[in-house]
Chain A
Amino acid sequence: MLQESSDNRLSRRKFMRLSGLTTAAITVGYYFKAFGNDTVAEFLTGEGAEAMGIELTAWIAVDQNGKVILYNHRSEMGQGSFQSVPQILAEELEVNLDDVRVEFAKGYQGRYGSQITGGSSTIRGAYKQLLQSGATAREMLIEAAAATWGVPKTACYASNGQVFHKPDGKKLAYGDLVEKASKLTPPKDVPLKARKDYKLIGQSLPRIDNPPKLNGTAIFGLDKTVPGMLIAMVERNPRFMGKVKSFDAKAALAVPGVKEVFKVSMPVFAFTRQGVAVVATNTFACMQARKVLKVEWDDSGFEHLDTEGLFKKMETDLGKTGNTVKEKGGFEPLWEQGSQKLEAIYRTPYEAHSCMEPLNCVAHFQGDKIQVWGPIQAPDWVQSDLAKRYKLKPEVVEVNMTFLGGGFGRKAFVDYTTEAVEISKQIKAPVKVVWSREDDMAQGPFRPGALYHCRAVLKNGKIEGLRARMAAQNMDLQNSPKFKPDAPNASMMEGLCENYLENIAHYRFSDVPTESPVPVMWWRSVYSSTNTFAFESFMDELALAAGKDPLAFRLEHITDKRVVAMLKKLAEISGWDTRKKGSGMGLAMAECFGSYTGQVVQLQKDESGVPRIKKVFAVIDCGWYVNPDIVRQQVEGSIQMGYGAAVVHETHFSDGKAVEQNFDTYQMPRMGDIPEIIVHIMENDEAAGGAGEPALPPFAPALCNAFFDITGKRIRQLPFLPEAV
């Protein structure tokens, strides 16, 4: 049996105490028989797991009062996991969502499997286990009721937190059954409900996390306090791999409230960035002290690039053959001989994530134990990183998720958490490290800028051969201190609808990784966010060259029924087939994280003749989904973020530093920019796909294709200002 100890392993008793449950309760969860294999899960009760010495994923607990606690294993950064995860569990558990309390699980990969909130994976990565957990607990409660009544299980059913006996209508509440149920062996392979029988899934139920977000009670990372906590800010070297040569803390230490000033290092992938930490009793004192802190930087050993220098490097790289990512047939001989050929180069910018909540982290290093609280997208990564760094067992590294004020990929990275622990270790006290907006925006990691060179050969109005080459930083290469230019970047095809390739005889996709000290990281929809601009703009150019309607041209290269249905629905809701040519409509599509998305942007010229967005029509096929209103929110949000990167903002570099540091220069889309967005969700029986990101990639190419339609001008570089063209 597991002993209750000071560590954060979740023994059943500790779980009950922490959850405020009555002593008798049924807890059902699962564990992964093979570590790292998230697909083979075994379902156990809390007792069963303890007897076997197994750490259980405690998804669900029902106590004698019928109180249900569901643990959400993923971050809530706006994408709605706090609503959709419980909505799945409650469906098969047959409880009312109002009787359910939702709590964040702690970071623990051994227990929850991957907890990275990334790749739009919360639902598609776990929904089958979530359904099965709920169904397993429900069957045990039914079995307990049947045994109590001495009737066959098959004569009983569960609904609304109670078990009913069909023939005579007698009933028992879950609370009265938990003691008996908890002693049963969980049944294997409980059949799941058919979709038509769902009561909660498929409903636009209001989000559970909304009420606390509207009266100031929701705790984001920046709101977290722990007893004895001090505040710290760090003046980091503004150049990405820079170090501290020396510093003078005298004036900073004279600021009232300032306690300590010292040098601190932060890991940035395989590299290190140094800075000077200012620790004080309050945030404003830290800000004031930074202003008078004198630091001399060591900026040797790496390039100090500017934006044009970076893109020049990419331009040179684009001339190289590059690493083959995927290839079929022989494109090059075809290109030599082809009679109808087209080529184009597309450019997309570097971008900052700019979550509305700047980075922050609360940490308490206690020698034999570490506690962390914060807006964290990857609690299990934080846990394993800290355990390794401080040579501790993962059990004593407690990682607590708060609400995240946006994430978009930035908060899945372990630099800020490690730095906070390092500062706590130094001051021997709990600390909240606060990043200013300027720190957050200017220090990266950024979305990598990219150049694409596309070539195609047309024959009889169809694509015979296609070649696309990307020159951009490869995020994966940052994990090694030595640059390895020969590793292909498999992500260079993200966003492309793979079905195209089945209908193109010759193709080659390749990449040339650009070497740069700029740290880069996932940015909502990752490489799809830039790839799709190139792929789907080029598809439009090819359609034009072939003398065909852009949608009809795509349909000639798409055979997958699912994608065809999505495109036809898009045509239907946007009135594509009856539009007038030159009326300002453009179309694009993407395949991203298991979902298909298509968008039509409709433009209209304003009084001064500048095309403005009138409407966006969006279709998403994300297969099985939970809450349609949350899917719609994600589509709307993705379009608005895509609009920002297409039209409004770009991070520039100058002399090795980011230029845009705050919202005065890194402008954001604002209310007046955003048009009406019409969202349609496809209904089918396909497996669940992602919803948080897939609607971002098609926006920029759909916009630029519409811009061409209305002006005859082709946009191949983002961001672009419609009034400046």
Chain B
Amino acid sequence: MPTYNLSVNGKNFPVEAEANTPLLWVLRDVVGLTGTKYGCGIAQCGACTVHFNGSPVRSCSVAVSAASRAKITTVEGLSPDNSHPVQKAWIAEQVPQCGYCQSGQMMAAAALLRTNPNPADEDITVALQGNICRCGTYTRIHKAVKTAAEMMRQG
């Protein structure tokens, strides 16, 4: 089996995996970072969203061979102590119910805010339209993205 050097949350992980293994399963089964969730396997639900050189991607649809030279950030890389503005905003608005989709939602939100620090309502909806929540937390997610933007502006 080939070996790849993954850079995840600023650390290097040499991993052994078949070249076509999705990054999602390498993160979960090999690296042991289980915050990134499996939801559909076909890039329809967004539960597995991670940052790939800063851009949001569905890790279920990125082969490990393509990820080996990229900087990968997972939800664990936002911050371990919930100090990232997105995490803080998610607590302020009491977003999660079951919580399963929220790492993907937050990664999509964090990526949006990096390129668009002052998103309009429509920008938020477009950026998060690919992330499904079955519990029905959409209205709170929307509000939390605005709250996070506000927190980031205030530093």
A residues near B139, Cβ cutoff 8 Å: 636, 674, 676-677
Q: How far is the CB of A87 from chain B (nearest CB, A)?
A: 14
Given known A216-B33, A663-B42, contact A206–B94 (CB-CB < 8 A): yes
Give the residue of B37, B75, B124, B134 whose beta carbon is less than 8 angstroms from that of A215: B75
A490 at the interface (CB under 8 A from B): no
Q: Are A405 and B99 in contact (CB under 8 A)?
A: yes
Is A282 in contact with chain B by the CB < 8 A criterion? Answer: yes
Interface residues of B in 45-97 (CB under 8 A from A): 45, 47, 74-76, 78-82, 87, 90-91, 94-97
**B33 cross-chain contacts in A, Cβ below 8 A:** 216
User: Which 10 residue pairs are nearest across A and B when measured between Cβ atoms?
Assistant: A216-B35, A640-B136, A405-B100, A213-B99, A78-B98, A637-B136, A78-B97, A223-B34, A663-B44, A216-B76
Q: Which single member of B39, B44, B45, B102 contacts A214 (CB below 8 Å)?
A: B102
When C-beta atoms are compared, the residue in chain A nearest to B77 turns out to be A216
Residues of B with C-beta under 8 A to A669: 136, 138
From B29, B99, B101, give the contact of A218 (CB < 8 A): B99
In the complex, what residue of chain A is closest to B103 when comparing beta carbons?
A216
Given A216-B36, A284-B29, A637 contacting B42 (CB threshold 8 A): no
Q: Does A671 contact B (CB under 8 A)?
A: yes
Query: A664 interface residue, CB < 8 Å from B?
Result: yes
A 259-285 binary contact with B (CB < 8 Å = 1; else 0)? 000000000000000000000001110
The secondary-structure label for the interface of chain A is loop
Chain B contacts for A674, CB-based, 8 A: 136, 138-139
The answer, yes or no, to whether A448 is at the interface (CB within 8 Å) is no
Contact of B18 among A220, A256, A354 (CB under 8 A): A256
- CB of B30 within 8 Å of the partner chain: yes
Q: Mark A621-641, 1 if CB is under 8 A from B, else 0.
A: 000000001000110111111
CB 8 Å contact bits of A66-79 with B (1 = contact, 0 = none)? 00000000001111
Q: List 18 A-B contacts (CB under 8 A).
A: A78-B99, A214-B91, A216-B33, A216-B35, A222-B34, A256-B1, A283-B25, A284-B21, A288-B18, A357-B37, A357-B39, A358-B39, A403-B99, A406-B98, A633-B137, A636-B139, A669-B136, A670-B138
Question: Which residues of A have CB within 8 Å of B34?
Answer: 216, 219, 222-223
Q: Quick one: closest A residue to B35, CB to CB?
A: A216
* Given A282-B30, A662-B40, A663-B132, A215 and B98 contact (CB-CB distance below 8 Å): no
**Structural contact, A283 and B132, CB atoms closer than 8 A:** no
Q: Number of contacting residues on B, CB 8 A?
A: 62
Report if A214-B140 is in contact (Cβ < 8 Å); known contacts: A284-B21, A405-B99, A633-B97.
no
- The answer to whether the Cβ of A537 comes within 8 Å of any Cβ in the partner chain is no
Q: Which of A116-147 contact B (CB under 8 A)?
A: none
- Determine which residue in A231, A436, A663 has the highest number of CB atoms from chain B within 10 A of its CB, and name it: A663
Q: Which residues on B are within 8 Å of A, measured CB to CB?
A: 1, 17-18, 21-22, 25, 28-30, 33-42, 44-45, 47, 74-76, 78-82, 87, 90-91, 94-103, 106, 124-126, 128-142
Closest residue of chain A to B44 (Cβ to Cβ) is: A663
Provide the residues of chain B in CB contact with A671, threshold 8 Å.
124-125, 128-129, 131, 138, 141-142
- Bound CA–CA A640/B87 (angstroms): 23
Alpha-carbon separation in the docked complex, A674 to B95 (Å): 15
**Bound: A256/B21 CA distance, A:** 12
Distance from A625 Cβ to chain B, minimum over Cβ atoms (Å):
16
Contact B29 A283 (CB under 8 A): yes
Note all chain A residues with C-beta closer than 8 A to B45. 356, 437, 663, 668
On whether the beta carbons of B36 and A207 are closer than 8 Å, the reply is: no
Bound complex: CA of A283 vs CA of B34, how far in Å? 13
Residues B90 and A354 in contact, CB atoms below 8 Å apart: no
Query: What residues on B are CB-neighbors of A662 within 8 Å?
Result: 40-42, 44
B-contacting residues, A665-691, CB 8 Å: 668-674, 676-677
- CB of A639 within 8 A of CB of B136, answer yes
Chain A residue nearest to B130 in the complex (CB): A670
Whether A210 and B91, one on each chain, are in contact in the complex, defined by CB atoms closer than 8 angstroms, is: yes
A97 close to B (CB within 8 Å) = no
| Residues of A416-461 contacting chain B, CB below 8 A | 436-437
A80 at the interface (CB under 8 A from B): yes
* Interface set, chain A 75-103, CB cutoff 8 A to B: 76-80
Binding site for B on A (CB under 8 A): 76-80, 204, 206-207, 209-211, 213-220, 222-223, 231, 256, 282-284, 287-288, 354-358, 403-408, 436-437, 629, 633-634, 636-641, 662-664, 668-674, 676-677
The answer to whether A405 touches B25 (Cβ under 8 A) is: no
Which residue of chain A has the shortest Cβ distance to B75 in the bound complex?
A: A216
Interface centre among B98, B99, B102 (most CB of A within 10 A): B98
Report Cα–Cα, A640/B142, bound state, in Å: 14
Bound Cα distance from A670 to B76, whole angstroms? 25
Write out the residue numbers on chain A whose beta carbons fall within 8 Å of the beta carbon of B140: 633, 636
> From B79, which residue of chain A is reached at the shortest CB distance?
A215
User: Which interface residue of B129, B132, B140 has the most chain A CB atoms within 10 A?
Assistant: B132
**CB nearest to A643 among chain B residues:** B136
A437 and B39 form a contact (CB under 8 A): yes
A220 to B103, CA, bound (A): 13
Q: Chain B contacts of A80 at CB under 8 A?
A: 97
Q: 11 other contacts beyond A79-B97, A223-B28, with CB at 8 A cut-off? A: A78-B96, A207-B94, A211-B82, A216-B34, A256-B1, A284-B29, A356-B39, A356-B45, A663-B44, A669-B138, A670-B129
Residue with the greatest number of chain A CB neighbours at <10 A, chosen from B44, B74, B76 = B44
How close is B126's CB to chain A, nearest CB, in angstroms? 8
User: CA separation between A329 and B30, bound complex, in Å?
Assistant: 68
CA distance A282 to B36 in the complex (A): 16
Query: Contact: A356 with B100, CB < 8 Å?
Result: yes
Q: Which of A210, A354, A355, A673 counts the most B-chain CB atoms under 10 A from its CB?
A: A210
Minimum CB distance partner of B86 in chain A: A214
Q: How far is the CA of A639 from the CA of B17 in the complex (A)?
A: 43
Which residues of A sit under 8 angstroms from B141, Cβ to Cβ?
671
Q: Decide: A629 near B94, CB < 8 A? Known: A217-B35, A356-B37, A437-B40.
A: yes
Cα–Cα distance between A638 and B137 once the two chains are bound (Å): 10
Contacts of B78 on A, CB cut-off 8 Å? Answer: 215
Cβ–Cβ contact A637 & B135, under 8 A: yes
Contacts of A358 in B (CB 8 A): 38-39
8 Å CB contact of A641 from B74, B80, B124, B134? B134
Q: Which residues of A contact B28 (CB under 8 A)?
A: 223, 283
Residue of B nearest to A639 (CB): B136
A408-B135 Cα distance, complex, nearest whole Å: 9
Cβ contact of B134, chosen from A204, A355, A639, A672, cutoff 8 A: A355
- Within the complex, the shortest CB–CB distance from A75 to chain B, in Å, comes to 10
